[in-house]
Amino acid sequence: MLFGEIAYGPIHSRRLGTSLGVELMPLDHKLCTFNCVYCECGWNTPVSHPKLPTREEVKAALEAKLKEKYALDVITFSGNGEPTLHPDFLGIIEDTCALRDQYCPKAKVSVLSNSTQLGRPDVVKALWLCDNRILKLDAGTDTMMRRIDLPVNEQLTVQTIIDWLQAFEGDFTLQTCFLRGAHNGEIIDNTTPEELKAWYQAVDILHPKQIMIYVIDRKTPEENLEKISREEMEIIATPLIAKGYDVIISA
């Protein structure tokens, strides 16, 4: 499932409401720093010189959509890969905030990110301009994070991601997909007691203002995956709710 327009929708997001999507990655293939086994966009496609929309093209496409005066809850950056990879991400976010203020001031600017570019000061600055920073951490251990997310940088660690996330001082939404299955003969399960303990510890270090936990909902590139039940997701959320965390369950 790929998004073939720079500005697409609005669509109904099960987590965000009425959302106008903005695509900063190529329109014909996935480009991401992760290769998640559950990603609805499929696997990464190696391309020597991927074509990204320019800052000017993104601004023009977004303004054209906003002029149609949709009733929007959010303007959302996600799509065919990791939006913060775009070299003009900061400028695009500045343009988006200005257009939002002009055409639909009640809409929130949201970014769904896999957290891998948070070592870049320009990305951090851009995310601070947004209303919703929805940042991924799919596991509390390196082994499980690498099995689920298949990072392009195989040396990436959970601790590095935690260190980067701490820069937001809890002012973000932590997003985690829970799943079970297998890939290339390796077991995938971030719901075991050991994995949950490590993930809970990361949550307590980060203390995000909101936690968004969800399950696979569409066709996945790895077919040997299991959707977690609503009842089990509620069990996972229970100790967090007891501590006062704001937890959203999408299951």
C-alpha–C-alpha distance, residues 202 and 165, integer Å = 10
- In tens, the pLDDT along 23-39 reads 999 988 899 999 999 99
Residue 48 has pLDDT above 80, yes or no: no
Higher pLDDT, 97 or 78: 97
Residue 111 has pLDDT above 70, yes or no: yes
Place of tokens 């390796």: 186
pLDDT at 1: 64
Q: What is the DSSP string of 19-86?
A: EEEEE-S-SSS-B-S---TT-TT-S----SS--PPPHHHHHHHHHHHHTT----SEEEEESSB-GGGS
> Picking from 11-15, 16-20, 107-111, 157-161, which range would have the lowest pLDDT averaged per residue?
11-15
What average pLDDT does the structure give for the chain? 95
Residue type present at position 52: L
Q: List C-alpha distances in Å: 210 to 95, 163, 245.
A: 26, 18, 7
> Picking from 68-72, 185-189, 199-203, which range would have the lowest pLDDT averaged per residue?
68-72
Q: Which band of pLDDT confidence, cut at 50, 70 and 90, is reported for residue 112? A: very high
Q: Which two tokens stand for residue 177?
A: 């997909």
Domains, the chain, ranges and CATH? 7-250 (3.20.20.70)
Residue 14 has pLDDT above 80, yes or no: no
C-alpha–C-alpha distance, residues 23 and 5, integer Å = 7
Find the helix or strand (DSSP H, E) in which 126 lies: helix 121-129
C-alpha–C-alpha distance, residues 235 and 239, integer Å = 8
pLDDT at 21: 94
pLDDT at 45: 85
- Short-list 240, 230, 53, 81, CA closest to 149: 81
Residue 100 has pLDDT above 80, yes or no: yes
Q: Which two tokens stand for residue 125?
A: 């600055």
Angle formed by the axes of helices 55-66 and 89-103, to 10°? Answer: 20
How many CB atoms are located within 10 Å of the residue 104 CB? Answer: 18
Q: In degrees rounded to 5, what are phi and psi of residue 227?
A: -80, 130
> What percent of the chain is modeled with pLDDT above 70?
99
Q: Which band of pLDDT confidence, cut at 50, 70 and 90, is reported for residue 95? A: very high
Count of all residues that appear for the chain in the document:
251
**What average pLDDT does range 2-7 have in this prediction?**
82
Residue 192 has pLDDT above 90, yes or no: yes
